[in-house]
Amino acid sequence: MVSKEILGNVSSRILCFNGEMGAGKTTLIKALVRSLGGGDQANSPTFGIVNEYQTQKGELLGYHFDFYRLESEGEALDLGLEDYFSQDTWVFIEWPEKIGSQLPQNYTRISLEIVDPVTRKIEITKAD
């Protein structure tokens, strides 16, 4: 299973997903949340910007941000972004380039590239 392989190869619980629209960022996050015990609750927070996920036992699993609609990094700060990063939980971020200077030093970048309509190339790298 791809999601379990990814979880076994990340250096941080803050995961930043890069890829063009339709590359499968949200789909991959859904699979990761499922693998972490969150069931099928994951969906894109495009309009709400952030979703909170819990395990099936009701414990906090993590947060999922979609910064596609952000106009400035200041909007992310207004959400209390630093507080989310300081928690000991998973943080999934779509469109992290929108908050570039606000990203913590220790995060894992997951890049998705469309190979063909059903195939994606996934690359995992630790942030500098």
Name beta bridge partners: 63: 52, 91
What pLDDT score does 128 carry?
60
Q: What pLDDT score does 46 carry?
A: 64
Res 111: pLDDT: 96
Q: CA 114, CA 8: separation in Å to the nearest integer? A: 23
Task: Give pLDDT, residue 2.
Answer: 85
pLDDT along the chain (128 residues), means of 10: 86 94 93 89 74 91 93 88 92 94 92 94 86
Q: What is the pLDDT of residue 65?
A: 94
